[in-house]
Amino acid sequence: MILHHIQTSPGQDRALDCALKYAAVEDSFMFSGNGVNALLIQKWKSRLNDKTVFLLKTDVQARGLEKLLAAYTQIEHNQFVEQTLIHKKVITW
């Protein structure tokens, strides 16, 4: 079980696309920084629909996206650390 950590928006690079290609069913996705913007785009929302998705709450708040991204699990830094311990591996894209 891998935690795929996405830090950049899909407009910046192909990190999310690559992560989705290699992700297994049981893998999770953690979005931070500009990565949270991916979930504003229908294409990425659809591709992540059946995945476990976490957003770093402070990054969502910093961008004023709390209402737009309310459907996703938003976690604090300490919960992010917990997820890194729960998953067998973390890949930062």
Say how many residues make up the chain: 93
Give the separation between CA 31 and CA 51, rounded to whole angstroms. 12
Q: Where are the domains of the chain?
A: 2-92
pTM recorded for the entire structure: 0.93
CB proximity list for 52: less than 8 A, separation 6 or greater: 27, 28, 29
Of 68, 82, 78, nearest in space to 36 by CA: 68
The mean pLDDT value of the chain amounts to 96
By percentage, how much of the chain surpasses pLDDT 90?
A: 97
pLDDT band at 87 (very low <50, low <70, confident <90, very high): very high
- What is the Cβ-side half-sphere exposure of residue 84, based on CA atoms within 13 angstroms? 11
Residue type, 47: R
- Residue 89: its pLDDT value, please? 97
| CATH code for the part of the protein at 2-92 | 3.40.1260.10
Question: How many other CB atoms are found less than 10 A from the CB of residue 69?
Answer: 19
- Residue 59: its pLDDT value, please? 98
- Residue 55: its pLDDT value, please? 98
pLDDT band at 71 (very low <50, low <70, confident <90, very high): very high
Residue 29 has which token pair? 């996705």
14-58: pLDDT as tens digits: 999 999 999 999 999 999 999 999 999 999 999 999 999 999 999
Give the separation between CA 93 and CA 17, rounded to whole angstroms. 10
